[in-house]
Amino acid sequence: MSGSLLASDAVIGCPHGGRVAAAGPPAGGVRVAGAAVATAAHPYVVTGCPHTVRGVPSPCVTVRWAVAEESGVTVDGRPVLLDTSAAQCLTAAFVPQGPPVVQSAQRKVTVR
Q: Is the pLDDT of residue 112 over 60?
A: no
Q: Could you report the per-residue pLDDT of 49-78, keeping only the tens digit for each? A: 999 999 999 999 999 988 766 567 888 888
pTM above 0.75, yes or no: yes
Instruction: Assess contact for 92 and 61: CB atoms under 8 A.
Output: yes
Helix/strand/coil (H, E, C) string of the chain?
CCEEECECCCEEECCCCCEEEECCCCCCCCEECCEEECECCCCEEEECCCCEECCEECCCCEEEEECCHHHCCEECCEEECECCCEEEEECCCCCEEECCEEEECEEEEEEC
What is the predicted pLDDT for the residue at 110?
Answer: 53
Q: Is the pLDDT of residue 43 over 90?
A: no
Could you tell me the residue ranges of all domains in the chain? 3-111
Q: Could you report the per-residue pLDDT of 96-106, keeping only the tens digit for each? A: 999 999 887 65
Instruction: Assess contact for 80 and 38: CB atoms under 8 A.
Output: yes
User: What is the percent of the chain where pLDDT is above 90?
Assistant: 39
User: What is the percent of the chain where pLDDT is above 70?
Assistant: 84
